[in-house]
A and B are shown apart, each in its own frame.
Chain A
Amino acid sequence: KAGVTQTPRYLIKTRGQQVTLSCSPISGHRSVSWYQQTPGQGLQFLFEYFSETQRNKGNFPGRFSGRQFSNSRSEMNVSTLELGDSALYLCASSLRAMAGEAFFGQGTRLTVV
């Protein structure tokens, strides 16, 4: 069974640009969550989607947005990039809507210059 796949693995963007990251969850998983990992802040929750609906949102500015498609694949978009957006972005998928372990992808390393 394939794991969670995130593309691309590495990305370099310039301040002011926008970026779209992609996440394919484990087959059959309907919940997809996104996290930002930085050295200073640790793992911070961005948002969670279940069956194409955003169920939960973290404390990030509106420049961060996401969506989920009918096949459960998810995308995350960051507009007007800032230097502080440089981070590892992790996607996690879960089988159920209820509490339980989430399975993470390897992440996308975004560098904003």
Chain B
Amino acid sequence: DQQVKQNSPSLSVQEGRISILNCDYTNSMFDYFLWYKKYPAEGPTFLISISSIKDKNEDGRFTVFLNKSAKHLSLHIVPSQPGDSAVYFCAAQQDSYGKLTFGQGTILTVHP
């Protein structure tokens, strides 16, 4: 049972444009959501998070939006840069415990 889903395996964007990565979840008990970026041969790196009591969190070029009624969150990267090319994972937590439930990941490619 895939509780966190990233339905787009890949996304290609031109440098300077907006990248929008999407994530859907099924477990209404999730109360904290995170985005991670992963380069090959490295562990995931934390990007940004959002609590279920908020609907938006912004950090520089990265903004995460949460729509609880739709059980959907998205990560916006503006402007996109070639160095943003990586695999992006969304993750969710329940009851504030350490376990993270990850989506399958989306490969983002930003073309110069």
List residues of A whose CB falls within 8 A of some B CB.
4, 31, 33, 35, 42-45, 48, 50, 55-56, 58, 90, 92, 94, 97-107
B54 to chain A minimum Cβ distance, whole angstroms, is: 13
- Residues on A with C-beta less than 8 A from B89 are 42-43
Given contacts A99-B31, A99-B93, contact A104 B43 (CB under 8 A): yes
CB distance from B1 to the nearest CB of A (A): 10
Tell me if B102 counts as interface (CB < 8 A to partner A).
yes
B residues with a Cβ closer than 8 A to A are 31-32, 34, 36, 41-46, 49, 89, 91, 93, 96-105
Taking A98-B96, A99-B98, A106-B41 as given, write out 4 further A-B residue pairs in contact, using a Cβ cutoff of 8 Å, ordered by the A residue number.
Answer: A33-B98, A43-B91, A56-B99, A102-B46
Partner of A48, one of B32, B91, B99: B99
Residues in B neighbouring A42, C-beta threshold 8 A? 89, 102-105
Inter-chain contact B97/A107, CB cutoff 8 Å: no
- Distance in angstroms between the alpha carbons of A33 and B105 in the assembled complex: 19
Nearest first, the 7 closest Cβ-Cβ pairs linking A and B are A104-B43, A43-B102, A101-B46, A99-B32, A99-B96, A42-B104, A48-B98
Bound: A55/B96 CA distance, A = 12
B21 vs chain A, min Cβ distance (A): 15
A residues in contact with B93, CB < 8 Å: 99
Measured CA separation A79–B95 after assembly (Å): 31
